């Protein structure tokens, strides 16, 4: 049995949870079967991995001749890659898609090569309306191709029970075709480390507690709400924002203005404006006193699981799959996020949300014993519930059932 993964992200280019998922799942599946990955690349054919059971190739595209509006370049670039992935002969038994950038490629593979189509939902376009800022009219296309692919897939994998409910609410899909298989964590990689080299490099004092954010600068991640919460935080601890790769120039400027306003009242704020390597992330998670995830929308929220695996308690918004990862009162706290019915992607009271985040962070920062107990409980939950080995086995079994059928 051989699976073909189609994905935007793959090492060394990973900027979000979907890329992390593809990286670890492909490696774990390759212990049981043959896996080929076709992903984004800079060169026309860029070899990434070539072993007996795992092969990965990056496909580049030349957009220099595009005269379409700039925000459409990524859309048409995605479609060109989808075509190239299919004109390169496919010999897999099943095709597995990750993010809308690949969906047309999977549709073509299913129809032209006659193989079952599996699609993992890492997020849903109708629940990310701010993507129009980035894609313009391309957002209408991304919504259409996602709907088309989901409704014609042989199986849809939801990364949480909450995501499955969203899929069934938004699309015409038989519930029996939607399978909940959680994201996972590599517990040998994500574990507490003692080194503090990265902290020193960024000027963070390892002897002073800090609250940490890790993620991209997007509407979805709610980073600006956390920055606005800094004014309500107790002054005795540091704030570390590991936040880069802004979706748009507008959100980048909004983030900059918010950080500057916070720094005008507080000195111990550290903003790492880059996507850091894994060893740095392990250090940040391990030495943070509290990890904060203020997401407005999060199908799963793998960053919370990463922090928990490093024995760090979590303060997160009570949305989506986060509610299935973080146990309130045991591994951290969940902060309610009241959202407007007419615009369910922003808090009804943004300032109150920021105040509530700060209140929970202050509570944990003031109780070292509670932080330690929650951190230990978080690591235990990661070990018992979210290993990649178990998740790969569930995925392998799903493939086998579709091929038999």
* Mean pLDDT for all residues in the chain: 94
Q: Which domain holds residue 365?
A: 197-385
Residue 54 CA to residue 35 CA, distance in Å, equals 5
3-state DSSP call for residue 405? coil
Spatial contact of 234 and 366, defined as CB atoms under 8 Å apart: yes
Spatial contact of 282 and 189, defined as CB atoms under 8 Å apart: yes
Spatial contact of 313 and 369, defined as CB atoms under 8 Å apart: no
3-state DSSP call for residue 39? strand
Per-residue pLDDT tens over the stretch 298-330? 888 899 999 999 999 999 999 989 999 999 999
For residues 125 and 12, membership in a common domain is answered with yes
For residues 166 and 242, membership in a common domain is answered with no
213-226: average pLDDT: 92
Residue 213 CA to residue 241 CA, distance in Å, equals 5
Q: Which two tokens stand for residue 32?
A: 């049981």
For residues 239 and 162, membership in a common domain is answered with no
Task: Check residue 16 and give its pLDDT.
Answer: 80
For residues 210 and 149, membership in a common domain is answered with no
* pTM of the complete model: 0.81
Percent of the chain whose pLDDT exceeds 70: 98
Q: Which two tokens stand for residue 165?
A: 């409910």
Spatial contact of 23 and 10, defined as CB atoms under 8 Å apart: yes
What per-residue string of b and e applies to 248-269 under the rule 16 or more CB within 10 Å gives b?
beebeebbeebbeebeeeeebb
Residue 311 falls inside a structural domain: yes
For residues 242 and 224, membership in a common domain is answered with yes
For residues 230 and 144, membership in a common domain is answered with no
For residues 284 and 363, membership in a common domain is answered with yes
Task: Check residue 345 and give its pLDDT.
Answer: 60
For residues 130 and 223, membership in a common domain is answered with no
For residues 391 and 381, membership in a common domain is answered with no
Q: Which residues are CB-neighbours of 271 under 8 A, at least 6 positions away?
A: 241, 243, 259
Q: For residue 12, say if its preceding peptide bond is cis, omega within 30 degrees of 0.
A: yes
- Domains held by the chain: number: 2
Q: Is 175 exposed, middle or buried, given 0-12, 13-18 or 19+ CB atoms closer than 10 A?
A: exposed
| CATH number, domain with residue 281 | 3.40.50.2000
Residue 192 falls inside a structural domain: no
Per-residue pLDDT tens over the stretch 233-276? 999 999 999 999 888 899 999 999 999 999 999 999 999 998 88
For residues 126 and 19, membership in a common domain is answered with yes
Residue 238 CA to residue 331 CA, distance in Å, equals 21
In this model, does residue 338 exceed pLDDT 80? no
Residue 291 CA to residue 316 CA, distance in Å, equals 8
Q: How, if at all, do strands 332-335 and 269-272 pair? A: unpaired
For residues 138 and 282, membership in a common domain is answered with no
* Residue 343: band (very low, low, confident or very high) from pLDDT cuts 50, 70, 90: low
For residues 245 and 343, membership in a common domain is answered with yes
């Amino acid at each position: 049995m051989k699976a073909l993964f189609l994905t935007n992200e793959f090492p060394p280019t990973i900027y979000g949870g979907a890329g992390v998922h593809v990286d670890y799942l492909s490696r774990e599946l390759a212990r049981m079967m043959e896996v080929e990955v076709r992903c984004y690349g800079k060169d026309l054919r860029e070899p990434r991995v070539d072993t007996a059971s795992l092969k990965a190739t990056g496909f580049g595209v030349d957009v220099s001749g595009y005269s379409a509006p700039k925000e459409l370049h990524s859309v048409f670039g995605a479609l060109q890659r989808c075509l190239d992935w299919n004109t390169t002969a496919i010999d897999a038994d099943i095709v597995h898609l990750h993010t809308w950038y690949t969906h047309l490629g999977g549709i073509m593979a299913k129809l032209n090569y006659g193989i079952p189509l599996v699609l993992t939902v890492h997020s849903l376009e109708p629940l990310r309306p701010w993507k129009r800022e980035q894609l313009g009219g391309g957002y209408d296309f991304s919504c259409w191709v996602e709907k088309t692919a989901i409704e014609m897939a042989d199986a849809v994998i939801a990364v949480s029970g909450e995501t499955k409910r969203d899929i069934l609410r938004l699309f015409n899909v038989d519930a029996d075709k939607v399978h909940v298989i959680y994201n996972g964590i590599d517990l040998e990689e994500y574990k507490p480390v003692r080194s503090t080299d990265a902290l020193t490099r960024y000027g963070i004092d390892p002897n002073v507690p800090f609250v940490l954010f890790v993620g991209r600068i997007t509407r979805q991640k709610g980073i600006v709400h956390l920055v606005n919460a800094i004014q309500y935080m107790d002054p005795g601890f540091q704030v570390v924002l590991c936040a880069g790769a802004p979706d748009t120039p507008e959100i980048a400027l909004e983030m900059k203005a918010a950080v500057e306003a916070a720094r005008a009242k507080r000195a111990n704020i550290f903003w790492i404006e880059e996507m850091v390597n894994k060893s740095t992330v392990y250090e940040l998670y391990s030495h943070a006193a509290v990890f904060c995830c203020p997401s407005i929308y999060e199908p799963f929220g793998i960053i919370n699981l990463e922090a928990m695996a490093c024995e760090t308690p979590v303060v997160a918004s009570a949305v989506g799959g986060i509610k299935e990862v973080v146990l309130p009162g045991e591994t951290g706290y969940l902060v309610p996020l009241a959202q407007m019915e007419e615009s369910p992607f922003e808090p009804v009271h943004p300032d109150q949300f920021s105040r509530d985040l700060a209140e929970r962070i202050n509570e944990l920062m003031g109780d070292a014993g509670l932080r330690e107990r929650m951190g230990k409980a978080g690591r235990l939950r990661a070990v018992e519930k979210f290993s990649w080995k178990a998740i790969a086995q569930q995925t392998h079994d799903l493939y086998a059932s579709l091929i038999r059928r």
